[in-house]
Amino acid sequence: MTFDLSSRLADLAFLDARTQKVLASGGFVTVQQLLLHFPFRWEDRRQFSAWPHGEDKEPLCLHGNVTDTQLKRFGYKKAFVEITIDRESAAGLSEPVVLRFFNAAWLYKQFAAGQEVVAYGKVKCAKNGRLVIDHPEYEILDGDPEDVRIHMRRIVPVYRAREGVPQKQLRRAMFLLLENLSDAALPDVLPPPSDAGDFAGQSRAFALRRIHFPESMEQMEAARRYLALEEFFVLQLNVLRRRQDWQALAGEPRCGNGDLYAQWRALLPFALTGAQERSISEVRADLAKPCAMNRMLQGDVGSGKTFVALAAMLFAVESGCQAALMAPTQILAEQHYLNFRRWLEPLGLRIALRTGARKEDSFLPLLSEGSDAPQILIGTHALLSGDAAVTDLGFVVIDEQHKFGVEQRAKLVRQGRAPHVLVMTATPIPRTLTLTAYGDLDVSVLDEVPAGRQPIFTAVREEPDTAQVAGFLKEQFAAGRQAFLVFPLVEESETLQVRSATVEFEKWKKRLAGHELALIHGRVSGEEKEAVMAKFRSGQTNALCATSVIEVGVDIPNATVMIVFDAERFGLAQLHQLRGRVGRGEHKSYCILVASGKNPEAVDRLRTLEKTTDGFAVAEADLLLRGPGDILGTAQSGLPGLRLGDLVRDGKLVRTARRLASVTIENDPTLTKPENARLLPLLISSESLSALS
């Protein structure tokens, strides 16, 4: 009988009717669905764990016989089952181990003395001195020949439970499936990874067989890597396709000859960094192309992303179109506005500010001669909510945005015309994530900080004396400097023992009596926020008590102290971002991370920041410690569609997959060559892919 991945399990004669029914109830309809349900662990049943004599921290896999079964009841309805297992050896019976199941009286019927069982779980010592495993995973072997052939004397796969599908039955179905499925039904998805030596001689068929039933754990890991590479390859094909989709949209070259840029450069009192120069020329080259730019600018806090944006906007504006800069918050939009005015007023450009808080009246065309539309628009996302002033938007810069997805990009497309888009990240992103979650973007990197920056002194302090902290702050105030005090929450929470900005603000006002303190957080109204920030910027306020609203982009050179309370509540990348709020001027700056000290691991984690000021290094550390979900701001820990690939461990595979996918697409942009036909079903539509971002 021949069948392939798309065949229905219900049509396979070697699976009995009962098995087919059970599989269907677990949601397995096709061969492919079953085959791609990968094990989450493997048990080596050629050699079981040594029989325990006491507690063990690691879970054990025991093989023994049932010697006693008990159903114990207490109270009304409550019952637990105790199954005693033992191992017979030449030396006689060993110390029995009791498998305990609480509130599972129905299990009792399954067991009988004499049965052979495999149990997996952590052994502990009960109060009465017996060795017990609570709620172990277990399998009862009925002694039929299949038990030996499939479930014993080999490394067996253990699958995540699916409703109504017993482990043994699932494993048996998988075994029979692989036994009956020909290699020809499992053609490779990957092109031969030419220079990836580790994969020499591997095939999809081999990997799929060995991921389920490996002969050694090394073989299993090799199969996992092969299949992970395949997953990343499919992901890359899709992101590269999405990039093609964007490029296929009508775009226009939007690049002037550079006179405006040269005028601005002549006004700059300092040199641009090499990285800024490089990024500007990359962006400039994109602007000159007839297809819309889709680029991401990554740079550490303080690396000078704004000037790259400003320079790029000059090229665009010179070509006659409008350019917009979108910031995530009003504070940042206003800061950019002031900054842009300072640099561009001398060049005679028309700049306008547009934020959600101040509606139409906030459109303050700078040199508003008659009805001339502004050339440069600065604002929040409100900018995009249809406006007469936006007439010919050719270039959009999005500042401090991690997640700028397909949907938002689609909003920018007007009458099928796509403006050039440059997205600037708030923090560096680990390379594996850049290649996957943002794989459809071109990337420019600012890996250099402007010369003359003072390194920021960073220290982790466990519950320091507040009087000492106040003393230090007063010294800084006396020297004319300002400080940020950052707290994790807005209001005191009863459940979380954390400081809150509101309550702490009152306390610090007393501790720092005679100095000006202000409070800012997400619930302060837009207008008030502006007023508070303006006072702080002008130096009237000595310290700003805040939540992480000040995290992004705030630039106040005279602020030299950043104290983060309950620092362990923040991610490393976020703390690094906060740290970047100081050290922006000529004075020595300090970042103090106050930990409650109750969790040594958390304190260790914070110490990473004492060791490095390189944002790319911090991002990599954060990825290792907290996983990609946290960095991407998604609930899941990985990207959808990754079953075996691990963005933390498999960075090299991601890069290999990118290369393979690029070559595949370059050779055949629409993947229409007969040898590529197998790949077409693996391409997801752009819409469903937008779930990725």
Considering only 32-40, 271-279, 460-468, 598-606, which stretch makes contact with ligand ADP by CB under 6 A?
A: 271-279
Question: How far is 68 from 85, CA to CA, in rounded Å?
Answer: 7
Rg (CA), the chain: 31
User: Which is closer to ligand ADP, CB of 102 or CB of 270?
Assistant: 270
User: Which is closer to Mg ion, CB of 379 or CB of 553?
Assistant: 553
Strands 322-326 and 78-86: unpaired
Q: Does 276 bind ligand ADP (CB under 6 A)?
A: yes
Among 279, 294, 306, 656, binds ligand ADP (CB under 6 A): 306
**C-alpha dihedral sign at 128, 129, 134, 138:** negative
Question: How far is 655 from 354, CA to CA, in rounded Å?
Answer: 41
Residue 450 CB, nearest approach to ligand ADP (Å): 3
Residue nearest to ligand ADP (CB): 304
User: Which is closer to Mg ion, CB of 264 or CB of 477?
Assistant: 264
User: Which is closer to ligand ADP, CB of 230 or CB of 334?
Assistant: 334
Cβ atoms within 10 A of the Cβ of 444, count? Answer: 23
Question: How far is 235 from 277, CA to CA, in rounded Å?
Answer: 32
Strands (E), 17-152: 41-44, 60-74, 78-86, 88-89, 92-93, 97-102, 116-121, 124-125, 131-134, 137-141
Sheet bearing 517-520, strands edge to edge: 457-462, 590-595, 559-564, 482-486, 543-546, 517-520
Among 100, 224, 305, 521, binds ligand ADP (CB under 6 A): 305
Stated as kind and residue range, the H or E segment containing 660 is: helix 651-667
Among 39, 214, 302, 628, binds ligand ADP (CB under 6 A): 302
Residue 532 CB, nearest approach to ligand ADP (Å): 20
Residues 584-603 that bind ligand ADP (CB under 6 A): 584
Contact pattern for ligand ADP over residues 509 through 548, marking x by CB under 6 A: ----------------------------------------
Among 69, 84, 167, 303, binds ligand ADP (CB under 6 A): 303
User: Which is closer to ligand ADP, CB of 564 or CB of 692?
Assistant: 564
Please tell me whether residue 94 adopts helix, strand or coil conformation. Answer: coil
Q: And the tokens for 33? A: 């669905």
Binding at 555: pick from ligand ADP, Mg ion, none (beta carbon under 5-8 Å per type): ligand ADP
Residue 538 CB, nearest approach to ligand ADP (Å): 16
Q: And the tokens for 548? A: 């992480």
Burial label, 108 (beta-carbon count in 10 A; 0-12, 13-18, 19+) = middle
Considering only 53-61, 268-276, 505-513, 541-549, which stretch makes contact with ligand ADP by CB under 6 A?
A: 268-276
Q: Does 450 bind ligand ADP (CB under 6 A)?
A: yes
Residue 446 CB, nearest approach to Mg ion (Å): 11
Residue 501 CB, nearest approach to Mg ion (Å): 23
Count of chain residues binding ligand ADP (CB under 6 A): 16
Total residue count of the chain as it appears in this document:
693
User: Which is closer to ligand ADP, CB of 250 or CB of 271?
Assistant: 271
Count of chain residues binding Mg ion (CB under 5 A): 1
Helices of type H across 120-203 = 145-146, 167-180
Question: How far is 397 from 310, CA to CA, in rounded Å?
Answer: 9
With beta carbons less than 8 A apart as the criterion, state whether 592 and 564 touch.
yes
Residues 509-568 that bind Mg ion (CB under 5 A): 553
User: Which is closer to ligand ADP, CB of 100 or CB of 587?
Assistant: 587
Considering only 107-115, 211-219, 303-311, 463-471, which stretch makes contact with ligand ADP by CB under 6 A?
A: 303-311
User: Among residues 622, 561, 578, 618, which one has the least CA distance to residue 488?
Assistant: 578
Residue 457 CB, nearest approach to ligand ADP (Å): 19
User: Which is closer to ligand ADP, CB of 394 or CB of 615?
Assistant: 615
Residue 496 CB, nearest approach to ligand ADP (Å): 30
Q: If you ran DSSP here, which 8-state letter would residue 149 be given? A: I
Q: Does 638 bind Mg ion (CB under 5 A)?
A: no
User: Which is closer to ligand ADP, CB of 80 or CB of 261?
Assistant: 261
Give pairs for 263-268: CB < 8 Å, separation 24+: 263/347, 264/310, 264/311, 264/314, 264/343, 264/344, 264/347, 267/343, 267/346
With beta carbons less than 8 A apart as the criterion, state whether 378 and 336 touch.
yes
Residue 382 CB, nearest approach to ligand ADP (Å): 21
Contact pattern for ligand ADP over residues 567 through 586, marking x by CB under 6 A: -----------------x--
Considering only 86-94, 223-231, 269-277, 466-474, which stretch makes contact with ligand ADP by CB under 6 A?
A: 269-277
First-to-last alpha carbon distance for the chain, in angstroms, is 43
User: Which is closer to ligand ADP, CB of 365 or CB of 450?
Assistant: 450
Residue type at 444 in one-letter notation: S
Residue 276 CB, nearest approach to ligand ADP (Å): 6
Among 40, 102, 106, 270, binds ligand ADP (CB under 6 A): 270
Among 273, 500, 547, 574, binds ligand ADP (CB under 6 A): 273
How far, in whole angstroms, is CA 623 from its chain's centroid? Answer: 8
Considering only 2-10, 80-88, 300-308, 591-599, which stretch makes contact with ligand ADP by CB under 6 A?
A: 300-308
User: Which is closer to Mg ion, CB of 240 or CB of 326?
Assistant: 326
User: Which is closer to Mg ion, CB of 202 or CB of 276?
Assistant: 276
Residue 159 CB, nearest approach to ligand ADP (Å): 47
Residue type at 261 in one-letter notation: Y
Among 307, 315, 340, 590, binds ligand ADP (CB under 6 A): 307
Question: How far is 366 from 341, CA to CA, in rounded Å?
Answer: 8
With beta carbons less than 8 A apart as the criterion, state whether 421 and 396 touch.
yes
At residue 379, φ and ψ (nearest 5 deg) are: 180, -165
User: Among residues 265, 344, 320, which one has the least CA distance to residue 352?
Assistant: 344
Q: If you ran DSSP here, which 8-state letter would residue 30 be given? A: B
User: Which is closer to ligand ADP, CB of 97 or CB of 353?
Assistant: 353
User: Among residues 562, 561, 536, which one has the least CA distance to residue 548?
Assistant: 562
Stated as kind and residue range, the H or E segment containing 200 is: none
Among 83, 228, 239, 272, binds ligand ADP (CB under 6 A): 272
Q: Which residues bind ligand ADP (CB under 6 A)?
A: 270, 272-273, 276, 299, 301-307, 450, 553, 555, 584
Q: Which residues bind Mg ion (CB under 5 A)?
A: 553
